[in-house]
Amino acid sequence: MSFEKPNLPQKNELPLNIKESRAIAKGHESTVWGVEAENKEGIKQVVLKETREQKFATEEEMQESKKFYEYLKNFPGFGKFVPDSLYFKARESADKNPQAYVLQHFMEGKTINKVSDEELYKDPALVHQLQEFIDASIAILQEARRSKKIKPDFHKSYGSDLRAVVLSNFLFDPRYSDNIFITDEPDKNGQRIFFIDTGANKDERTIKAIELMERYLIGNVQELQLKSWKKKVERMVSSQNK
């Protein structure tokens, strides 16, 4: 995969003392960077999502992004899977327009579409978390229809993994989303599953027809896929306990 620019400039106006950076993912309107930044405690790794479209750097849009993140973070059952995220806007350099950014702690691991069933289901603690995540995802999709809210983005960015793109974006199966992240090791709370895209889908936020289609059609199919996935996990657990 090629990127427009391989690194963030070390001399920048971001609130980060950048030592090294690399582009690790790219969507239609955003780039995700892995960044080594230095603070008072030393160098730490963070993930920085850069939204390239200037319209999302307005005060109104920034507040909407933050409100949606807080909604996910505070939703019963779902919030535990949402990583702490800092929203801000900044200029990359003095001659650039302001852009929207999201900052998260760096996590070693991979998105769930790159995790095989064998790997995903072999750890009982991870399977238990997965069952909790599926239940919470079903609940938040149901609430989106009930309260006419924007739903979490369970799709996949278009990239080289054609099978995952088809299963996630055309069959609407969250099992193949690249917004669900599995860490290599649990954090201090034992957590290994995270829903890493804390922003609302761009088109769903800005185009009314897509908002309605996502909420009432795609969201409903995603719920059915999640329920099917839940049954599969339950069968796996049952067979392992025999």
Q: Is residue 2's pLDDT more than 70?
A: no
> Looking at residue 131, what is its pLDDT?
97
Q: Is residue 193's pLDDT more than 90?
A: yes
List the domain boundaries for the chain.
Answer: 18-105, 109-240
Q: What is the mean pLDDT of residues 179-190?
A: 94
pTM for this structure?
0.87
> Looking at residue 63, what is its pLDDT?
83
CATH code of 18-105, in short, is 3.30.200.20
Helices (H), the chain: 59-74, 117-121, 124-147, 162-165, 202-206, 208-213, 219-240
